[in-house]
Amino acid sequence: MRAFAILFVLLFSGFGSSEAAFVTAGHLLNICQSYTAGGEYHNTDERICNGYVMGTHDTAKSYEKLFDVSPLYCEPPRVTSDQMVLVVRKYLLENPELLQAPASPKVIDALIRAFPCN
């Protein structure tokens, strides 16, 4: 099953793919630029940013359950959506070479790096 998890990452990371994504990592970073933690949204971009990151997270967790595979990342039990968004934003800011790539695999990459499974 671990092989399936690796295949999942490769398929959704754009590895060897030239297909365009609806949302690039750069676009996601643009809409997440003004994001601040605290549970109160100040504009539509912050809502979209949070929704995109949480949607990607929920999809990854659904695949883990659906295919009974080991988790790609292991977020702490009380992690908030704000914390996850800030992790993703920091990762994208620190890796500008990734901004042309599809956003969802880069969200997963950020979460894997921030919340490794031990």
pLDDT in tens, the chain (118 residues): 554 444 444 444 444 444 567 999 999 999 999 887 776 777 899 999 999 999 999 999 999 999 999 999 999 999 999 999 999 999 999 999 999 999 999 999 999 999 999 8
Angle at which helices 103-114 and 81-94 cross, to 10°: 110
* Joined tokens for residue 63: 């695949």
Indicate the pTM of the whole model: 0.81
CATH number of 2-15+22-114: 1.10.890
The residue length of the chain stands at 118
Q: DSSP of 82-95, one letter per residue? A: HHHHHHHHHHHHH-
Can you give the residue ranges of every domain in the chain?
Answer: 2-15+22-114
pLDDT at position 16, please?
43
